Amino acid sequence: MYDPKPEHKFTFGLWTVGNIGRDPFGEPVRAPLSPPGIVHLLAELGAWGVNFHDNDLVPIDATPAERDRIVADFKKALDDTGLVVPMATTNLFTDPVFRDGAFTSNDPKVRAYALQKTMNAMDLGAELGAKIYVFWGGREGTETDAGKNPLDAGKWFREALNFLCEYNIDQGYDYKFALEPKPNEPRGDIYLPTVGSMLGFIATLDHPRMVGVNPEVAHEHMAGLNFMHAVAQAWDAGKLFHIDLNDQKFGRYDQDFRFGAESIKSAFYLVKFLEDVGYAGSRHFDAHAYRSADLEDVKAFARGCMRTYLILKEKAEQFNADIEIQNLLADIKANDGSMDQFLGVYSKEKVTALKAHSFDRAAMGQRGQPYEQLDQLLIELLLGIR
Ligand code: GLT
Ligand code: MN
Ligand code: MN
């Protein structure tokens, strides 16, 4: 019943189930899996697609012949399993060259190299069928603001995206770009730290219609924000091009936990939102198994991400069909139409009528809302007793 199917559009990055468990304090604990091996593993688990950074697939110093062989082996695995590649991205953070950023590095050589690397990676993604291109600027930030002016950084980032939008058009790739914000880590502060700031920035680009966002649960939670609200704002702006699902304790380091592992209620609201509005894009899990996991447990991690999504989807349907919940909601939102003469689109008539109307402010201020009752019903629904 909670078995993932292709129509659920579940995807994982090569770097997620392939995570070897290195952290700042410890060496890897799991053997690396080959990209074709990961494709087969994901297919066995019921995922629809696989995403990658250029260097998850092709090592940064591979020769052209090695690249071609690697890509051919990967394509064969895709053909054998039916998995698709909906999204691709560039690794602009691992190599020492990006120690002070990529598109926002103070060094123009690094900025130019980042453009070259991204164009090559866009070529690779397009060759494998990707239609969404993610930009996560993990190194685009500072530890000290003494050395870099955020206006310069913003200008360089804008120039880079404008350049790459033109490249996208020239090549006929038809990518949609999805910018992924994160407040910090690995930099002390990363530029454009939240979904809201990314949306503001996109409006300043030459091709704003080509560019949207890739919000990640953990990244907004690191900033202490309500993820579903951020996603709703992106959706409202027509900018929800992709989404990174995972979980995270608030206020901690970047944990990338299994979807729903930590904040079930937030995960519920998110799934309910995506399903209610009919979001049709990938449900991408950008998470990895605990460092304590072995390969069997990595599979349990990936299954868990998808299973929790499907369980929450069912819970959302249950919420929408629950008579008691829906009756409460109807009372909460009751509208007898008497205010229609004042609300909505501006007109001089409405201004005159509204200014002449007298409100019983004291009575209005006495009206409570049964959110305690409603929330408890939701809790009981989530705990499985409704
Ligand atoms: C990295 C990061 C993620 C980004 C990936 C795409 S790489 O794992 O933590 O949030 O989505 O670059
Ligand atoms: Mn992510
Ligand atoms: Mn993350």
Active site residue 53: yes
- Section 235-256 average pLDDT: 97
Report domain extents, the chain: 6-321, 323-382
Centre of ligand 3 from the C-alpha of residue 338, in Å: 48
The one-letter code for the residue type at 104 is T
Q: Distance between CA 211 and CA 203 in Å, rounded? A: 9
* Closest to 162 (Cα-Cα) out of 123, 198, 208: 208
Q: Are 56 and 65 in contact (CB under 8 A)?
A: no
Tokens representing residue 23 in the block: 């952290």
Q: Please name every residue paired with 245 in a beta bridge, in sequence order, or none if there are none.
A: 285
Average pLDDT estimate for 344-366: 98
How far apart, in whole angstroms, are the C-alpha atoms of residue 159 and residue 138? 18
From CA 117, how far away is CA 129, in angstroms rounded?
18
The closest-lying atom of ligand 1 relative to the alpha carbon of residue 180 is 11
- pLDDT number for residue 131: 98
State the number of CA atoms in the 13 A half-sphere of 333 facing the CB. 6
Each residue of 125-135: pLDDT tens digit?
999 999 999 99
Amino acid 167: pLDDT: 99
Q: Which residues line ligand 1 (CB under 6 A)?
A: 15, 53, 89, 134, 136, 180, 216, 244, 286
Q: Which one is catalytic: 54, 56, 256, 286?
A: 56
Interatomic CA distance for residues 348 and 39, integer angstroms: 62
Helices (H), the chain: 14-17, 35-45, 54-57, 64-81, 108-127, 150-171, 195-202, 217-222, 227-236, 264-277, 295-321, 323-332, 348-356, 361-366, 371-382
Helix (H, G, I), strand (E, B) or coil at 187: coil
Instruction: List, as one string, the DSSP characters of 80-145.
Output: HH--B--EEE---SSSGGGTT-STT-S-HHHHHHHHHHHHHHHHHHHHTT--EEEEE-TT-EES-T
Q: What is the pLDDT of residues 72-93, one digit of tens each?
A: 999 999 999 999 999 999 999 9
Q: What is the pLDDT of residues 103-125, one digit of tens each?
A: 999 999 999 999 999 999 999 99
Angle between helices 150-171 and 195-202 (to 10 degrees): 60
Q: How far is the CA of 194 from the centre of ligand 2 (A)?
A: 13
pLDDT at 366: 98
Distance (Å, whole) CA 147 – CA 205 = 25
Mean pLDDT of 159-181: 98
Tokens of 33: 């899996």
Q: How confident is the model at residue 355, as a pLDDT?
A: 98
Nearest to 214 by CA among 185, 248, 241, 251: 241
Q: Are 243 and 86 in contact (CB under 8 A)?
A: no
* Architecture of the structural domain at 6-321: Alpha-Beta Barrel (3.20)
Residues 118 and 90: beta-carbon distance below 8 Å: yes
Q: What is the pLDDT of residues 337-350, one digit of tens each?
A: 999 999 999 999 99
Is this model's pTM higher than 0.75 or not?
yes
Q: Is 8 known to be catalytic?
A: no
Tell me the average pLDDT across 324-342: 98
- Ligand 1 centroid to 136 CA: how many Å? 6
Q: At what angle do helices 264-277 and 371-382 cross, to 10 degrees?
A: 100
Rounded to 5 degrees, φ, ψ at 140 are: -80, 80
